[in-house]
Structure 1
Amino acid sequence: MFVKLWMTSNVLTVTSDQPIIEVERLLREHRIRRVPVVDEGKLVGIIGQEDLFRAMPSIFDPSASPEDLERTGYIKAGAIMTSTPITVDPSTPLEQAALLMRSHKFGSLPVLQDEQLVGIITETNIFDALLEIFAARKQGARIEIKIDRKPASFYAMLQVFKKCEIAILGIAVLHDYSEEHQLVTLKVQGDNLDRLIDGLWAAGLQINRMHAEESDSAPS
């Protein structure tokens, strides 16, 4: 999966000469935490809630006068923004973007293509991708299978699913589950789950855990 599949394309932006009081209002009204700063179509920075908190005195600070609060509100966004934001492009693998966000403790990253801002990838986008990978919104059974690291074992597992006509909705692999094994988690659909379980055991594959979801609809 790549960033272009999950990024938000309609990006809210501000300019470097906008007062930070306007930036704060924009973040609050749209319930976002960071916003790119764009001048004449070019990304020049990014500004987030943490920048605003550092720049604006608290209304609960007894040492801050009304004049201080008003004056601070007219500081320009360019004065407190991060002027060299880390960016990704639409073809960046999603996991690489997530790693950058995790390493730098960012909640979002601007997406540039040919030096033009084309989107933003956020924590919410990453969460949505994770839900899709695990088919969280689809009805089915969740199976965890412990297999060794040999490619043949993975192929044998897939053959059992094929033989039992079980559809795989989502799949994830925890490669470093143990020294000898990897843990494969699958979301599946099909009417032959009992046959599937027998087939997996017969193929020498260990079922670590299985959970069959019940339908949300009440019986008639």
Structure 2
Amino acid sequence: MFVKLWMTSNLLTVNSSQPIVEIEQMMRAHRIRRVPVVDEGRLVGIISREDLFRAMPSIFDPSITAEHLEQAGRITAATIMTSSLVTVEPTTPLEQAALLMRTHKFGSLLVVQNGHLVGIITETNIFDAFLEVLGTKKDGARIELKIDRTPSAFYAMMQVFKKCAMTVLGITVFSDFSDEHQLVTLKVQGKNMDRLIDSLWEAGLQINRLHTEGKEQE
């Protein structure tokens, strides 16, 4: 999967000459934690709520004067924005985006194409993709198999599901489960569960765990 399938495209943006007082009001009204800074369609920076908190004087600070507040009202986005950005493209693999977010401890990444902002990918988007891949939103049984770390073992496994007319809703592979085995987890749907289980054992495929209808078996 790629970023373009899961990114959010409709974004609120500001420009670099916009006063941060306006930006703070907009972010508070829309309950967002960060906003991209865009000039003539091109991404030039990003502003977070933390950036605003550092730049704006607190009304609860007794040392703040009216002059300080007036000066704060003249501060623009260009003054406080972060311009050195880590971005991805729409064609970036989703797992690469997730790794970048994990490495840099980001909650999101801006998506850029030819210098132009086209979207944002967030932790929530990543979770949604993860749930979709696992087939979480659809009814079915989850089967965890230990199979040999060979292409032929994976092919033999899929042939069993085909023979039993089972629909595969989601599949994940833990290829480094052990030196001898890979761990394959499948979400499947069909009327031939008993036949499927027998066929998997007959094919020499070890069922590590089976979860169906709220019950889990090992």
How high is the TM-score relative to the length of structure 1? 0.88
Aligned to 2:102: 102
Task: Supply the AA of the counterpart residue of 1:40.
Answer: E
Match of 1:51, SS state, is helix
2: CA distance between counterparts of 1:193 and 1:105?
42
1: CA distance between counterparts of 2:83 and 2:185?
42
Q: How far did residue 81 of structure 1 move?
A: 1.0
Q: Which runs of 5+ in 2 are unaligned?
A: none
Q: Which runs of 5+ in 1 are unaligned?
A: 215-220
The number of aligned residues is 214
Alpha-carbon spacing, 1:16–1:213, altered in 2? closer, same or farther (3 Å): farther
Alpha-carbon spacing, 1:146–1:31, altered in 2? closer, same or farther (3 Å): farther
Matched, 1:173 2:173: yes
Residue by residue, what CA displacement relative to the aligned partner does 1:71-120 show, whole Å, maximum 9, x if unpaired?
Answer: 43542111111112111111111111111111111111121122221111
CA RMSD of aligned residues (A): 2.0
1: CA distance between counterparts of 2:187 and 2:46?
39
1:10·1:119 contact (CA, 8 Å) conserved in 2?
Answer: yes
2: CA distance between counterparts of 1:16 and 1:158?
54
Q: How far did residue 150 of structure 1 move?
A: 0.9
- Runs of 4+ in structure 1 deviating by more than 6 angstroms, as ranges, are none
Aligned to 1:218: none
1: CA distance between counterparts of 2:73 and 2:176?
50
Residue by residue, what CA displacement relative to the aligned partner does 1:20-75 show, whole Å, maximum 9, x if unpaired?
Answer: 23222322332322211001211110111232233234555565567645643542
1: CA distance between counterparts of 2:30 and 2:144?
39
Match of 1:28, SS state, is helix
1:17·1:76 contact (CA, 8 Å) conserved in 2?
Answer: yes
Alpha-carbon spacing, 1:64–1:39, altered in 2? closer, same or farther (3 Å): same
Aligned to 1:217: none
Match of 1:135, SS state, is coil
Matched, 1:147 2:147: yes
The more displaced of 186-195 and 27-36 is 27-36
Alpha-carbon spacing, 1:195–1:74, altered in 2? closer, same or farther (3 Å): farther
- Between the two proteins, what is the percent identity of the paired residues? 71
2: CA distance between counterparts of 1:148 and 1:137?
29
Aligned to 1:53: 53
1: CA distance between counterparts of 2:120 and 2:189?
34
Match of 2:90, SS state, is coil
Aligned to 1:77: 77
Aligned to 2:188: 188
The more displaced of 160-169 and 60-69 is 60-69
How high is the TM-score relative to the length of structure 2? 0.89
Match of 2:88, SS state, is coil
